[in-house]
Amino acid sequence: MKLSIIAAIGKNNELGKNNELIWHLKEDMKFFKETTMGHKIIMGRKTFESLPEILPGRKHLVLTRSELEFPKEVEVYHDLKDFLETYKDSDEEIFDIGGEMLYRELLDYADKLYLTEIEAEDKEADAYFPKFNKEEFDKSIIGEHYDEKKNIEYKHVLYKRRSYGKR
């Protein structure tokens, strides 16, 4: 498996508030859709519950310790090890789409981080992207945007791991 992380973060690594996204940036939603389309996406139960609907064209993998019922098209894992074991010999790119807990747990396994770095902050955020050692990655800016309505600048940045992680 080639694990990629995709996240939109504020100046202080803000990810979310009250189980919702903080900034809704149109071009960023498009970037998320185009980057993840056709791939498997893994997420924590809370992020799954925050989605407005099942995202078309992407197989959803959800981690939970609960026995909740999920729609039948969702692949459910109760243990992170089972997920890693299932895909260890696969070549496919799988996207970790969050939230905080899933980013923290899978950062060491990720080869690529697609981060939307937003020039804004929110002191009321309650979910944060983990700090990581940028020296372990090659950084390239793949897009720069300005949302006129919200007066917010943001960049799409790709961090590629120089040497592979724990695998």
Ligand X SMILES: NC(=O)c1ccc[n+]([C@@H]2O[C@H](COP(=O)([O-])OP(=O)(O)OC[C@H]3O[C@@H](n4cnc5c(N)ncnc54)[C@H](OP(=O)(O)O)[C@@H]3O)[C@@H](O)[C@H]2O)c1
Nearest CA to 25 out of 148, 143, 157, 130 is that of 148
Q: How far is the CB of 54 from ligand X (least distance, A)?
A: 15
Site for ligand X in 92-111 (CB under 6 A): 97-102, 105
Does residue 16 belong to the site contacting ligand X (CB under 6 A)? Answer: yes
Does residue 122 belong to the site contacting ligand X (CB under 6 A)? Answer: no
Q: In what order do the strands lie in the sheet with 93-96?
A: 75-77, 59-63, 40-44, 93-96, 2-9, 110-118, 152-161, 137-147
User: Which residue stretch of 12-20, 53-61, 84-92, 156-164 sits at the interface with ligand X (rule: CB under 6 A)?
Assistant: 12-20
User: Which residue stretch of 73-81, 106-114, 141-149, 158-166 sits at the interface with ligand X (rule: CB under 6 A)?
Assistant: 73-81
Site for ligand X in 22-51 (CB under 6 A): 43-47, 50
User: Helix, strand or coil for residue 48?
Assistant: helix
Q: How far is the CB of 128 from ligand X (least distance, A)?
A: 9
